[in-house]
A and B are shown apart, each in its own frame.
Chain A
Amino acid sequence: MISAFIHKFSSPKSFVRITKTLYPFLIFIGLSMLIVGWVWGLLFAPQDAVQGNSYRIIFLHVPAVIFAELIYFFMALCALMHLVWRVKLAAYLIKSAAPIGAMITFIGLFSGSVWGIPTWGTWWQWDARITSTLILFIMYLGILTLHGSFSNLEKSDRLMSILVVIGVVNIPIIKKSVDWWSTLHQPASISVSGGSSIDPSMLYPLLISIIGLGFTLISLGILSSRSYILGREKNKKWVSEYV
Chain B
Amino acid sequence: MFDLAFNNLNEILAMDGHGVYVWSVYSIAISIIVASFLIAKNRIKGVKRKIKIKNAPS
Binding site for B on A (CB under 8 A): 38, 42-47, 52-54, 56-57, 60-61, 64, 99-100, 103, 106-107, 110-111, 114-115, 117-118, 201, 216, 220, 223-224, 226-227, 230-231, 234, 239-240, 243
- CB pair A234 B29 closer than 8 Å: no
The secondary-structure label for the interface of chain B is helix
- CB pair A103 B32 closer than 8 Å: yes
- CB pair B25 A46 closer than 8 Å: no
- CB pair A53 B16 closer than 8 Å: yes
17 of the cross-chain contacts (CB-CB < 8 Å) are: A42-B22, A57-B25, A60-B25, A103-B36, A107-B33, A114-B25, A117-B21, A118-B17, A216-B33, A220-B36, A224-B43, A227-B43, A230-B44, A230-B47, A230-B48, A240-B55, A243-B48
- CB pair B32 A234 closer than 8 Å: no
- CB pair B36 A243 closer than 8 Å: no
Cα distance A133–B1 when bound, in Å? 34
Instruction: Give the shortest distance, in Å, between A196 (CB) and chain B (any CB).
Output: 16
**Contact residues of B between 5 and 32, Cβ < 8 Å to A:** 5-6, 12, 15-19, 21-22, 24-26, 28-29, 32
Cα distance A42–B12 when bound, in Å? 9
A residues near B37, Cβ cutoff 8 Å: 220, 223
B residues near A100, Cβ cutoff 8 Å: 36
Instruction: Give the shortest distance, in Å, between A124 (CB) and chain B (any CB).
Output: 15
Q: Which of B4, B26, B32, B40 counts the most chain A CB atoms within 10 A?
A: B40
Instruction: Give the shortest distance, in Å, between B2 (CB) and chain A (any CB).
Output: 6
Given A53-B15, A118-B18, verify A44-B2 contact (CB < 8 Å).
yes
Complex partner residue of B5 from A43, A118, A240, A243, CB under 8 angstroms: A43
B residues near A64, Cβ cutoff 8 Å: 29
